[in-house]
Amino acid sequence: MTWRNAAIGTTKAAAPELAAHYEWLSTTQAASRLGITDRGVRSAIATGRLHAESIAGRWRISREALQHFRQGHTTETRTDTN
């Protein structure tokens, strides 16, 4: 494929981006990545230290919010979309 060689200098196709549902983490997944308990994640959400959205009764945390929390930044917003 000539256009790939010309555009990016490789014959390999770029890896596809992850689907949108991979952008959100459950409280259990977030806890695992942070090295804390699920209860600790829910507590951080309840106190506004970790931004999350309630979707169909389940908290979902964006990777960006998780990174913010990991770096010690606080957020004061919670979104309930039931």
Give pLDDT, residue 80.
Answer: 61
The DSSP code sequence of the chain is -HHHHHHHS-SSPPPPPPPGGGGEE-HHHHHHHHTS-HHHHHHHHHTTSS--EEETTEEEEEHHHHHHHHTT------EE--
Name the residue with higher pLDDT: 72 or 7. 72
Which comes out higher in pLDDT, residue 23 or 58?
58
The string of pLDDT tens digits covering residues 6-46 is 556 666 666 655 455 568 999 999 999 999 999 999 999 99
Task: Please indicate whether residue 49 or residue 16 has the higher confidence score (pLDDT).
Answer: 49
